Amino acid sequence: MPSLRIVPRTLSRAGLVRAPRTATISTGTVAPARAFSTRSNHRQQQHQQHQQHQQHQQMPRTLKAGASPGVVGALVGGALVGWYLFSSNSGSDASSPDAWRKVNYHNVYKDIAALLEDENYDDGSYGPVFVRLAWHSSGTFDKMTKTGGSDGATIRFAPESNHGANAGLDVARARLEPLKKKYPNISYGDLYTLAGVVAVQELGGPTVRWRPGRNDKADTECTPDGRLPDAAQGADHVRNIFYRMGFNDQEITALVGAHALGRCHSTRSGFEGPWNASPTAFTNFFFTELLSNSWVPKKWSGPFQYVDKESGQFMMLPADMAFRSDPQFRKYAEIYAADQDAFFADFTKAFTKLLELGVKFPEDAPVYEFTTLE
């Protein structure tokens, strides 16, 4: 087994390293994308930050005593959600089979990236909730019935939008709705999945290949509740959910590494807290924290979850702990904890697969690799 590399527990957004490169896409044109060679510099900066802060751990803004998203963030979030509920009733203009061809996806990428940062929301970024929106709109696929998945974007309709696993995603949809109005020919399925790609890349993660061509469906196509993972369950449940989609143990482990981003909210899932001290940076920190910390049950009135014994400020869900206790899952978790490049390489393949489950793309749909913003 590879040795576990202990990584720093802090990372500022300013520490992310980004540089442009060029890569050929399937249509034969050249599209800019991020340089993977910058990751070694990224890890070097992480180590330098650790040396600077090892005597005094600096927590993210919302973990500091007395800090909160603020009244302004609550008002803005409420206004966005209300406006979304009103405007989304008008339906989609992306009804033509060729509508996707009229969209400049590089411009859409840039506009989504511009929406990410907001100091009044959560930890200062909508990126984590955009990844969750892309994940949950795609993870309903059933390989036996060929139903669900990102094609159709039925997550925007009740009852699917009201499923417990989707609590809080109205905020992400509302944030993206102005772009649907700006680019009426993009389908919601393409918009939601592209938002996930943008978030992964802009928060320091790997380049994720993406292609357009999803269709929007009616609310009659909503998937039944229970297709997404239940965070309170263990390894058997996790496998049942992901095997239904067509994933293997290695792909499942890679995908769960996205828990490096964001936090749980007691007002949404019932659980509370971040997985690590850098919830707006895409890293392998989920695996390093999972394997290097001692985890104890959280003493509170909420649902059962774990907190790290040392500080009590980071959490793991019961389903997360399966990747520590189950031998097959742990085998891959140890690889990813020791090698962030290996995690990035496997994650990007699994995430692309997730976003494309059940989608019948046009034969000439190009595959994009986008550059991150400077």
Structure tokens at 354: 């997730």
Say whether pLDDT at 111 is over 70. yes
Query: Confidence band (pLDDT; 50, 70, 90) for 95?
Result: low
Task: Point out which residues pair with 316 in neighbouring strands.
Answer: 306
Say whether pLDDT at 53 is over 70. no
Q: Which one is catalytic: 100, 135, 136, 259?
A: 136
Q: How far is CA 329 from CA 170, 185, 227, 323, 326, in A?
A: 32, 41, 21, 5, 5
Cβ count near 351 (within 10 Å): 28
- Interval 258-294: pLDDT, tens: 999 999 999 999 999 999 999 999 999 999 999 999 9
93 or 209: whose pLDDT is higher?
209
The DSSP line for 152-169 is B-GGGSTTGGGSGGGTTH
Contacts of residue 367, Cβ cutoff 8 Å, sequence gap at least 6? 25, 26, 27, 209, 210, 211
17 or 320: whose pLDDT is higher?
320
Q: What pLDDT is attached to residue 96?
A: 81
Say whether pLDDT at 67 is over 90. no
Structure tokens at 67: 């800090």
Q: What pLDDT is attached to residue 60?
A: 33
- Mark whether 136 is an active-site residue: yes
Say whether pLDDT at 49 is over 50. no
Query: Confidence band (pLDDT; 50, 70, 90) for 68?
Result: very low
Cβ count near 156 (within 10 Å): 24
- Interval 184-194: pLDDT, tens: 999 999 999 99
State how far the Cα of 11 lies from the Cα of 323, in Å rounded to an integer. 24
State how far the Cα of 291 lies from the Cα of 79, in Å rounded to an integer. 41
Q: What pLDDT is attached to residue 192?
A: 98
Cβ-contact 175, 80 below 8 angstroms: yes
- Mark whether 42 is an active-site residue: no
Q: Which one is catalytic: 100, 210, 275, 295?
A: 275
Say whether pLDDT at 36 is over 50. no
Q: What is the pTM of this model?
A: 0.78
Q: What is the mean pLDDT of the chain?
A: 82
Task: Point out which residues pair with 264 in neighbouring strands.
Answer: 273
Cα dihedral: 177, 278, 118, 230 (round 10): 30
